[in-house]
């Protein structure tokens, strides 16, 4: 199946690890070009070395996304170096555990800056280019937007706002034929998830307990399964009439009857 992504430029934030890394791989496999925006870490360097060993279509733009002027200059840099942007995948974020009781107002605001503000900033600065390409935006949200988690107000607020903005931008961008959709992962093994698991008393037992509650196959969702949803939502040929949607590839974790687990 031709997804129509060949040579199109896709920007993936946090695209050198975890879910973003899987989306980068999937886009490259479809013949797209990818500009990864993220922090330069040992892991990011190793990921980019691996991508560049088999493709010249993957580029790294170092940026701390909490720095909003850097969000603007990163988009400018990408446009100057690689041309117009067809796809924007807003993915970078962190479940930083700023609770209502245990958090503070200052930490709540910081959490919004880590998880939400850069989604708007990048979409805003990429918009003139997306208008030219009649491109697509995919926002990576979370099941936490629908279910809550407890002790993570900033993250939950950001993830919920991403769903609202997905509908809002889908409506605003109709005249430009720009589609905007969201994906809500639930349980995906990534560096972020591993770090969270390792904070728990018995990570192995905790993982087994979580997996047992996932209805389809009693297993975690693969990062490649999230990436498959992302390339579908980016595809002008396959999802050309799909906009404002919230897709939940989670093995039925959020919606199916608890009695099934
Ligand atoms: P991850 O393993 O931590 O990967 C995220 C990547 O984004 C990392 O490379 C990280 O860099 C980068 N990043 C994060 N904040 C950044 C910032 N402010 N500036 C620049 N780069 C930044 O996370 P993940 O689990 O793949 O999560 C990706 C998305 O999926 C997030 O939006 C998350 O909320 C969502 N999600 C994940 C799950 C899950 O089960 N994993 C479930 C629901 C939703 P560093 O490595 O330097 O931190």
Of 86, 119, 155, 193, the active-site residue reads: 155
pLDDT at 78: 99
Instruction: Locate the DSSP E strands across the chain.
Output: 9-13, 33-38, 58-62, 87-90, 136-140, 179-183, 246-247
- Find the 259 Cα to ligand 1 centroid distance in Å: 32
Residue in the structure block whose two tokens are 């107002």: 105
- Residue 52 above 90 pLDDT? yes
Please state the pTM of the whole predicted model.
0.99
* Residue 4 backbone zone (phi > 0: left; psi -120 to 50: alpha; other: beta): left
Task: List pLDDT tens digits, range 197-212.
Answer: 999 999 999 999 999 9
| Ligand 1 pocket check for 246: Cβ under 6 Å | no
Distance CA 199, CA 187 (A): 16
How many CB atoms sit inside 10 A of residue 242's CB?
16
- Find the 14 Cα to ligand 1 centroid distance in Å: 6
pLDDT at 63: 98
**Tokens matching residue 79:** 């446009």
Active site includes 155? yes
| Ligand 1 pocket check for 253: Cβ under 6 Å | no
pLDDT at 236: 98
| Ligand 1 pocket check for 15: Cβ under 6 Å | no
* Structural domain boundaries in the chain: 9-187+223-256
- Find the 22 Cα to ligand 1 centroid distance in Å: 12
| Ligand 1 pocket check for 41: Cβ under 6 Å | yes
Query: Rounded mean pLDDT of 130-143?
Result: 99
pLDDT at 139: 99
**Of 46, 35, 40, 119, which is closest to residue 78 (Cα–Cα)?**
35
Query: Rounded mean pLDDT of 7-16?
Result: 98
Share of the chain above pLDDT 70, in %: 100
pLDDT band with cut points at 50, 70 and 90 for residue 261: confident
- Residue 162 above 90 pLDDT? yes
* Residue 83 backbone zone (phi > 0: left; psi -120 to 50: alpha; other: beta): left
DSSP β-bridge partners for residue 16: none
Residue whose CA is closest, atom 1 of ligand 1?
192
Q: Contact 144/158 with Cβ under 8 angstroms?
A: no
252 by Cβ neighbours in 10 Å (0-12 / 13-18 / 19+) ranks as middle
Q: Contact 128/176 with Cβ under 8 angstroms?
A: no
Distance CA 27, CA 21 (A): 10
Q: Which class is 9-187+223-256 in CATH? A: alpha beta
| Ligand 1 pocket check for 110: Cβ under 6 Å | no
Task: List pLDDT tens digits, range 77-98.
Answer: 999 999 999 999 999 999 999 9
pLDDT at 156: 98
Residue whose CA is closest, atom 33 of ligand 1?
93
Task: List pLDDT tens digits, range 173-186.
Answer: 999 999 999 999 99
Residue in the structure block whose two tokens are 């959490």: 111
Residues in CB range of 103: below 8 A, 6 or more apart: 111, 153, 154
Query: Rounded mean pLDDT of 42-66?
Result: 97
- Residue 34 above 90 pLDDT? yes
**Of 5, 1, 28, which is closest to residue 234 (Cα–Cα)?**
5
SS3 44: helix
pLDDT band with cut points at 50, 70 and 90 for residue 73: very high
């Amino acid at each position: 199946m031709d997804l129509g992504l060949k040579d199109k430029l896709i920007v993936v934030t946090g695209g050198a690890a975890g879910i973003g890394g899987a989306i980068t791989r999937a886009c490259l496999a479809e013949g797209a070009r990818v500009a990864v925006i993220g922090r330069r870490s040992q892991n990011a360097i190793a990921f980019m070395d691996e991508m560049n060993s088999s493709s010249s279509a993957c580029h790294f733009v170092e940026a701390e996304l909490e720095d909003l002027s850097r969000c603007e200059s990163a988009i400018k840099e990408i446009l100057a170096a690689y041309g117009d942007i067809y796809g924007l995948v807003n993915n970078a974020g962190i479940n930083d555990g700023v609770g209502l009781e245990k958090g503070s107002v200052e930490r709540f605001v910081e959490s919004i800056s880590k998880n939400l503000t850069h989604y708007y900033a990048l979409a805003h600065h990429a918009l003139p280019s997306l208008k030219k390409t009649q491109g697509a935006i995919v926002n990576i949200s979370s099941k936490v937007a629908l279910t809550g988690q407890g002790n993570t107000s900033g993250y939950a607020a950001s993830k919920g706002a991403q769903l609202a903005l997905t509908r809002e931008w889908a409506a605003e961008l109709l005249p430009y034929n720009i589609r905007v959709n969201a994906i809500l992962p639930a349980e995906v093994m990534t560096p972020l998830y591993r770090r969270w698991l390792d904070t728990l008393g018995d990570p192995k037992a905790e993982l087994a307990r979580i997996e047992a509650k996932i209805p389809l196959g009693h297993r975690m969702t693969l990062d490649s399964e999230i990436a498959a949803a992302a390339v579908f939502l980016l595809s002008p040929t396959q999802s050309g009439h799909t906009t404002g949607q919230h897709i939940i590839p989670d093995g039925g974790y959020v919606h199916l009857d608890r009695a099934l687990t």
